[in-house]
A = this chain, B = another copy of it.
């Protein structure tokens, strides 16, 4: 991004403190906001008919958090996002960003590159989910989130891996 675009871009974010257990985005809403994680941990999770939760993503320091699918499609949000710890965010209206696209093509370019990057990450995860056993996915999680394991309950990690806490406990005990 050129410096002018970057200046405009950063100017639309404002600081927001948000407490452990507080919600950032709710299922059923039409999501409007995106934020940069200054500090803290959030999770995005899907809730199925049977009331089971699947932790889709953990957001940590330095990443952007938002109900991305809802933001880009304008459809109802299917996932919940909330805080696993107290968080400091820099938050913006997503529309205030998309409105910059016409005047600042470099910002739209960044949006394209981000979307492409997110796709690549999702594809990687898809392949892992299908071709690897939970034990191997656990090893990958530990590599990708070296600190997280100490900071959040194990049942959230199990949910991220797509297994029950019971099964995660078994996997852990076998090493």
Contacts and interface: CB of A to CB of B under 8 A. Distances in A.
Place the interface of chain A in its size category. 20 to 34
A8 interface: no
A21 interface: no
A22 B101 CA distance: 41
Contacts of A112: 108, 111-112, 115
Interface in A85-107: 101, 105
Copies of this chain, how many? 2
Nearest to A75: B120
Nearest to A118: B119
Contacts of A115: 112, 115-116, 118-119
Interface stretch (A23-31, A121-129, A140-148, A167-175): A121-129
Interface stretch (A9-17, A33-41, A65-73, A149-157): A65-73
Given A108-B105, A108-B108, A131 B46 contact: yes
A68 B125 CA distance: 15
